[in-house]
Amino acid sequence: MGRVAILLAVGAAMIGALAGCGHGATAAPGAGPASASRAPGSAPAPNVPGVRIINVTVRGGKASGETGRITVPLGTPLVVSVRSDVADEIHVPGYERTAKVPAGATASIAFTATIPGVFEVALANSKLALLELHVS
């Protein structure tokens, strides 16, 4: 198997594993698994070659970590992982991905960047912008 096929297989396996743990996530039809939540204080998503993991922490109404504009090539498997001190819902517009993040916990949304453009990833209820995802 070629390197690309191996990376895609590993990424798909990781996304499948994350989806098995999901709570309250929604996805666009045919878009694949959307989310996983972890217990408070648990380790971040594992580092899988070829998968871009974006980690953001929300504390006191402010986002830190990988915020700002993040550029990824079209076709990149992504995991957006958000740890928040308040309960809210992560939203990735354009991809129509959401995941509930409980207070003091971490939630993740896994998807492949198949739609070019700029997308503002935010917490839906507090309307807090987390990052700008630029897919090209």
Domain CATH number, residue 124: 2.60.40.420
Domain count, the chain: 1
Q: Which residue matches tokens 């971040």? A: 44
Q: Bridge-partner residues for 57, per DSSP?
A: 64, 83
Instruction: Kindly list the distances between the CA atom of residue 58 and the CA atoms of 48, 69, 83, 86, 102, in Å, as whole numbers in the listed order.
Output: 24, 17, 6, 8, 12
- Amino acid identity of 67? T
- Across the range 95-103, mean pLDDT stands at 96
pLDDT reading at 100 higher than 60: yes
8 A C-beta contact, residue 69 and residue 54: no
Q: pLDDT digit string (tens) for 13-51?
A: 344 433 433 333 333 333 333 334 444 444 445 556 789
Q: Phi first, then psi: give them for residue 35, nearest 5 degrees.
A: -155, 165
Residue 26: domain span? 3-135
